[in-house]
Amino acid sequence: MKLVTGNSNRALAEDVSSYLELPLTDCTVKRFADKEVFVEIHENVRGEDVFILQSTSFPANDNLMELLILTDALRRSSARRITAVIPYFGYARQDRKSASRTPISAKLVANLITEAGVNRVITLDLHAAQIQGFFDIPTDNLYGAPVMVRDIQENYTNGNVMIVSPDVGGVARARATAQRIGADLAIVDKRRPRAGVSEVMNIIGDVSGHACILVDDIVDSGGTLVNAAEALLKAGATEVSAYISHGVLSEGAAERIAASRLKELVISDSIMATDAVKAAKNIRRISIAPLMGEAIARTASEQSVSSLLD
């Protein structure tokens, strides 16, 4: 078995490597002067079961090309099987035609990954579960909920917790978390006048006197969380925190979260943290390396990964 990584999230790859007690495969992933991606594998991978750990986060196109070219290099080096481990699957929010004459980019990216020569995909908390069907190869969508729930149980012990979905679309995810910890559920009713902008309309459920925890899969601009926190506090919540799987946190988002009334934003390390994220005092990261490492180990040994979803 070999573990290979590009440049998208070297820190997570090293943590997974440590968990597996398997050194990262020696390879070069660099840019030519014109920014073309160049890859060279410095170890023999013939007949090996190879796992490429590479999120397709910002810069999404560069990291996607690294994944594709790494795959091609390994395939041409006679690797027996290539598994793409993609903790954060970029383009996942473009999973349907949102208007006339728009693409379904998530399907296109799935096609590119498959055609490059990947034999299997492991990912985490897809924005929409049906994206698994965009791939014509086996795809395991792991859930970060068990990791998040353990952290919630360690930090919220007074039992006066309410799980909140920041929009109607995320109710299933929030309800699953609420059931795991035996908490009640509330919903933020919002509308989105344009991409990246949200307006809170109503709070569905009585949050008065509760410590509210917003649960979602992606935080990008942070506007939804900030607005939801304000609305929940006005509705009588004692405090508001958020547990989000993927901290995209585009430019200005970390500062927006830091200046908000959110007590804490907890994100996984599926995306490499920027300096602004590291500097924000109310943003905390928890590791998914054991989860990803265990999924890799079980896939390599042909064991079931379904127990990791519980």
Residues 79, 168 share a domain: no
pLDDT tens-digit readout, 12-38 = 999 999 999 999 999 999 999 999 999
**Alpha-helical segments (H) within the chain:** 10-20, 60-76, 105-116, 145-155, 171-181, 223-234, 253-258, 275-279, 289-300
Residue located via tokens 């498959």: 114
Residues 68, 156 share a domain: no
Binding annotation for Mg(2+): 127, 167
Residues 152, 280 share a domain: yes
Residues 111, 53 share a domain: yes
Binding annotation for D-ribose 5-phosphate: 192, 216, 220-224
Q: What share of the chain is helix, strand, coil (3-state, %, to 5)?
A: 35, 30, 35
pLDDT tens-digit readout, 30-63 = 999 999 999 999 999 999 999 999 999 999 999 9
Residues 65, 76 share a domain: yes
Q: Above 70 in pLDDT, residue 199?
A: no
Model confidence, pTM:
0.92
Residues 203, 109 share a domain: no
Question: Rounded CA gap, 24 and 18, in Å?
Answer: 9
The pLDDT mean for the chain works out to 93
Binding annotation for ATP: 34-36, 93-94
Residues 233, 111 share a domain: no
We report the CATH number of the domain holding residue 256 as 3.40.50.2020
Instruction: Place 169 in a pLDDT band, splitting at 50, 70 and 90.
Output: confident
Residues 166, 119 share a domain: no
Residues 97, 30 share a domain: yes
Residue 193 confidence (pLDDT) = 59
Radius of gyration of the chain (CA): 20
Residues 100, 88 share a domain: yes
Residue 310 confidence (pLDDT) = 67
Residues 183, 69 share a domain: no
Q: Above 60 in pLDDT, residue 202?
A: yes
pLDDT tens-digit readout, 113-126 = 999 999 999 999 99
DSSP 216-236: EEEESSSHHHHHHHHHHHHTT
Residues designated catalytic: 190
Burial of 1 (0-12, 13-18, 19+ CB in 10 A): middle
Q: How many CA atoms lie within 13 A of 37 on its CB side?
A: 17
How many structural domains compose the chain?
2
Range of the domain at 100: 2-143+290-309
